[in-house]
Structure 1
């Protein structure tokens, strides 16, 4: 190989390295931040607030979540499990009228179990499960965070007043949005024969009992 050809190859390799470095820096700059903000939505703002407005730290955390969980593919739910989950959620909503704390605790358990069945980390690893859910269900993952926190408060034996009951109601409503996201059929689910619905639904969503809309749940 002639000296001229060797020099030409070195120049080409150097140019490729420079271009790759430029692309990497560009991805880490404003464009990368915009992509993360678009992907995570409200979760981006929550993470930014938790890092006291440090955008680099927040984006580093969110990028790490994507690297760990971005390749996860949600698994289909077995028809029997789907029916069980739907029945338990409906029962929890109805139970909220007389026993809101127990209903919130059940909602927390249900989200953990449905997520695990869908292929997310097991609920025993709450923080990791939450992180994975934030990558794929960023718009509603706060519902899990909220209901989990309220359930832990209830488990601690703290007595609540009307304001506490209202917070539990809000947590249940937010949790329902994530529950419906997780229950939405995947491509694999759609390949299975559809079964008749067993529960009252409106526009494809489980209808909330009247107490959620009238704020008339009793304390527990």
Structure 2
């Protein structure tokens, strides 16, 4: 075998070994950055910021969240329970006009209880509950973080008594998006409920008035602009 052929074989073997090493390193990476970015949306950017711009550290953090909470299956709400949660949220919105701080505190409690009822870690375990919610409702979980911060103070929200009325109003509006996701029944929940009650899949006029074509519950916009709340 000539020297040239030997050198060529050595180069090929070295190239193959290098490719194998690169592939092995890539396989060790928790998940692709793009995949995590799509799944977590703004939560991805927040995780990167928390890790001082270290994307790999942020991705390891987010991947661990998925491992801990990704298999969680949300429990459906009974219609009566859903109506109670919706009535309580509406009452909190009404209360905001005269008592914004009490309304924000009630919204925070309500989201915690509702998340617990849907199968997330129980109310009172805020950090764990927030982490689990970020895996399944990443694009709206920041609303919970904001309203909790407005109610209790902390790094994720403006501090307690220093929170302005406008900041509390915005926190309530952000939190409502998560509330809607948690309280609105999925198509699977609807099918299960109809089967349990022996009803057909046909929708009623009342059903159609509450959902849009994409299956999302619709509500009149809430602006909290009726009058300035006291103590603002």
Q: TM-score, normalised by structure 2?
A: 0.74
- 1:173 matched residue in structure 2: 173
- 1:207 matched residue in structure 2: 220
Contact 2:152 2:160 in 1 (8 A): no
Instruction: Render the CA deviation track for 1:67-125: whole Å, top value 9, x for unaligned.
Output: 00001111100111101000000010011000000000010011101100100011221
Which structure has more relative contact order (CA 8 Å, sep 6+)? It is: 1
CA distance in structure 2 between the aligned counterparts of 1:195 and 1:74, rounded to whole angstroms: 26
Instruction: Give SS of 1:206's match.
Output: coil
- 1:9 matched residue in structure 2: none
Q: TM-score, normalised by structure 1?
A: 0.78
- In angstroms, what is the RMSD of aligned CA positions? 3.1
Contact 1:51 1:57 in 2 (8 A): yes
- 1:151 matched residue in structure 2: 151
Q: Specify whether residues 23 and 38 from structure 1 end up closer, same or farther in structure 2 by C-alpha distance, changes over 3 A only.
A: farther
- 2:23 matched residue in structure 1: 22
- 1:12 matched residue in structure 2: none
- 2:114 matched residue in structure 1: 114
Pair 1:78-2:91 in alignment = no
CA distance in structure 2 between the aligned counterparts of 1:113 and 1:195, rounded to whole angstroms: 30
Contact 2:112 2:122 in 1 (8 A): yes
CA distance in structure 2 between the aligned counterparts of 1:104 and 1:55, rounded to whole angstroms: 34
Q: Specify whether residues 195 and 108 from structure 1 end up closer, same or farther in structure 2 by C-alpha distance, changes over 3 A only.
A: farther
The structural deviation recorded for 1:56 is 1.2
- 1:129 matched residue in structure 2: 129
CA distance in structure 2 between the aligned counterparts of 1:167 and 1:121, rounded to whole angstroms: 27
- 1:4 matched residue in structure 2: none
Contact 1:107 1:172 in 2 (8 A): yes
The structural deviation recorded for 1:28 is 1.6
Q: Specify whether residues 207 and 217 from structure 1 end up closer, same or farther in structure 2 by C-alpha distance, changes over 3 A only.
A: farther
Q: Specify whether residues 147 and 22 from structure 1 end up closer, same or farther in structure 2 by C-alpha distance, changes over 3 A only.
A: same
CA distance in structure 2 between the aligned counterparts of 1:206 and 1:99, rounded to whole angstroms: 23
- 2:104 matched residue in structure 1: 104
CA distance in structure 2 between the aligned counterparts of 1:101 and 1:71, rounded to whole angstroms: 36
- 1:7 matched residue in structure 2: none
Unaligned 5+ residue runs, structure 1?
1-17
Contact 2:151 2:160 in 1 (8 A): no
CA distance in structure 2 between the aligned counterparts of 1:89 and 1:28, rounded to whole angstroms: 42
